[in-house]
Amino acid sequence: MKPSATEIASILSDWEILARGESDRLSAWLAGTSEPSRRLICVATIVLGVGLYGATIGLWHGPLMAFYVGTKLPLIIFATLLVNAMINGLLAQLLGSGLSFRQTTEALLMTFTVFALIVGSLSPITVFLVWNAPPPEAPEAGAIHRQLLVTHTVLIAFAGIVSGKQLHGILEHFSGSRAAAVRTLVAWLAGNLFAGAQIGFLFRPIFGTPGLKIAFLRPDAFEGNFYESVWWAITHL
């Protein structure tokens, strides 16, 4: 069924509220009864925004890799949400945020929705980078792969920090304490970045190493970790 003009306007309004981090209205969302339609909008935004960005990452290796990464990146986000929902819910209780487990999970879903809006908006830039990069068969493909790995890592970390920071007003509203809000926000950001990076490493290939066969998942998924690969890429730039 085609959405009406009113429904489209409502979706755009929700996106604007999330992107601007309007803490009063977002806090009202969490304090009130959970609305399935709003959660559905968040999930759809993550699938579309993160999926589009993932496709631009894999595009360097061709359409098949673009499809693989565009499919896997939203799965990584949802896996990170599931892992961190319980952990961050416990941290929220310990650090005095005033949020329940349900509110913590929905706040994280809002965070990843803003993340999806950011990386989705960056997709034209990342397509431009891939379009002007030598192909994976080129002699300098190894250096290009390392540059793309570091570039996307920085962009993803930036989007994660900015989207997480949008929750500061919500945390301060519920906790009534700036110190408790900052403690909770830092703990959530650290958990999201740490867990998300390692889950993404398990779902590799994401960037696709030149010379290796394109596959949906690697047979050696549990060998090494994300931070070793990034450090190696930085030291060999």
Distance CA 162, CA 159 (A): 5
Compare 27 and 40 and report the one with higher pLDDT: 40
- Assess contact for 50 and 68: CB atoms under 8 A: no
- Residue with token string 């993932």: 54
- Assess contact for 26 and 169: CB atoms under 8 A: yes
pLDDT in tens, 168-225: 778 887 877 788 888 888 888 887 778 888 888 888 888 877 877 888 888 777 777 7
Res. 17 pLDDT band, cuts 50 70 90: confident
Mean pLDDT for 65-69 is 93
What pLDDT is recorded for position 29? 80
**Lowest-confidence range among 11-25, 71-85, 104-118, 127-141?**
11-25
Reading the block at residue 121, the tokens are 């908006």
Distance CA 17, CA 31 (A): 16
pLDDT in tens, 104-161: 888 888 888 889 999 999 999 999 988 888 888 888 888 888 888 888 889 988 888 8
Residues 6+ apart with CB under 8 A from 19: 114, 117, 166
What pLDDT is recorded for position 49? 94
Res. 90 pLDDT band, cuts 50 70 90: confident
DSSP-based three-state secondary structure for 75: helix
What pLDDT is recorded for position 34? 61
Q: Is 99 left (phi over 0), alpha (psi -120 to 50) or beta?
A: beta
Res. 33 pLDDT band, cuts 50 70 90: low
Mean pLDDT for 64-82 is 92
Res. 2 pLDDT band, cuts 50 70 90: low
- Assess contact for 96 and 180: CB atoms under 8 A: yes
Res. 20 pLDDT band, cuts 50 70 90: confident
Helices 101-131 & 141-165 angle (0-180, nearest 10): 150
- Assess contact for 69 and 58: CB atoms under 8 A: yes
